[in-house]
Amino acid sequence: MTDRTIRLGELAHIVGQQQTAGSPRGSHELDERDTADNLMLVCADEHDEIDARETLNVFTVEKLRALKRAHEDRIKHVTGLTADRTTTLVRMIGRVRGQEVELTRETAAATVITSADRFPLFLESYSRHGVEVELRHLPGESLIDLRNINGEDVADHDYYKAATAVIDSVVDHQLNHGIARDHVAHLSVFGFARLPLLIYLGARLDDTVPTDVYQRHRHDETWCWSTDTPIVDFEVQVDQGDVPADEAVLVLNVSGTIQPGEIPTALAGLRRYRVAVLDAPAAPDVMRNRASLGRFEVCLRNLFADLEAKAKHIKRLHVLPALPLSAGVTLGRVHDRQVHPSLKIYDRTERGYYPALEIK
C-alpha cells in the first residue's frame, strides 16, 4: 500500500541470546549464541509465538533446530536444480466408483521435487497451475456404472464421450501448444480417473517428450515412488482361441485377476493374450517401485512388437484392464495408432466388463 521497502523479517534466537531465565531457551548450554547456526529469520508474529512462555514446551531447541535444518536442506536442493531439470505437471482428476483423492498442484510439485530431482515449471499460459484435466463434474458421471438402454445393460457412453472431449481440448489447446513453442521439455503425469480415461490420456500424450508417470499408492496414500520395495516383472501368456478372427482379447492381470468367467460372452473363442505379474500375486500396490512400471512398459512393447511380426491380421484388441493407474497411462503411451491394432477399452462395473471407448 505504501510502495516502500519495509523490513518485516526478524532474527530469532534458537537458544536465547542471554543465559538467563527471561531469555527464551536461554538456559540451554551454548557458547556462541549470535552465529548463523543459532539464528532463524521469522516474521514478527512467529517470533512472538515461538518465544511466548506458553509455547516454550512446544518450540524447544531440538524442534527449532529440526525446522531450520529441514528448511535449509529443501532450499539447497531446490536451488541446486539446473534448468534442464524442469518439468510440466499434467494432472487429470476424476472419480473412481464415487471416490476421489487429494491431488493439488502443491502435492504434485512436492512429489516431483522430492522423488525425481525435478522442479515444476508453471507457465503463465497455464495459469501457473500446470496442465489440468478436470473430469469430476461431467454429465452422466453418476450413471457411469450402468444404464439400461433397450433392455440391455451397457456402460454410460455419454460420460466417456464428454470426458474424452475434455482430454482432447486440454491436450490440443494447452499441452501441444506448449510443446510446439518449446515451452515443454518434460512431463510429469498424475492421474486419478477411471482406467479407460487414463489409457486414453496416455494415448494422447506426445511420445517424443520425455515423461514420468506417477502412481497413487494405497498403503500410504502418497504419490511418491518407493526405492526399497521389490521390483516385479511380467509375462505374456497366449490362449490361441477357437475362432480365427481379426480381433483378439488382451487381459491385464496386474492390480487384480480377471477370471475367465468375467470375460464377456461375445469375446469367447477369440485368441486371448494375458499379461500377468511374474512370481508375485496381482495386487493394487504391486507397482510401488518405479522400476516395476518400467518392466511393465517393456512387456507391452514386446507384446505389440510380437503382434506386428506374427499376427498382422489382428486389427482390434478388446482390452480388459485390471491395472494400477500409472500402468493405464503407460498402456496408452506405448500404443502406436499407426501400426498397432485398435484398442477397444472395457470398464468394470458391478455387473461385469462393458466397452467404454475405442482408440482407433
Cell readout for 42 is: 521469522
- Quick one: 31 exposed, middle or buried, by C-beta within 10 A (0-12, 13-18, 19+)? exposed
At 148 the pLDDT is: 41
pLDDT in tens, 286-302: 999 999 999 999 999 99
| pLDDT above 80: residue 119 | yes
Is residue 15 within 8 Å of 25, Cβ to Cβ?
A: yes
Is residue 170 within 8 Å of 94, Cβ to Cβ?
A: no
**Domain chopping of the chain, boundaries:** 9-79, 83-213, 233-359
Distance CA 40, CA 24 (A): 14
At 152 the pLDDT is: 46
CATH 3.40.50 fits domain 233-359: yes
Least-confidence region, from 89-98, 149-158, 202-211, 342-351: 149-158
pLDDT in tens, 127-160: 455 799 999 888 766 555 544 444 344 455 788 9
Entry pTM: 0.77
Give the residue among 333, 68, 21, 13 at the shortest CA–CA distance from 203: 333
At 283 the pLDDT is: 95
Longest dimension (CA), the chain: 90
At 58 the pLDDT is: 95
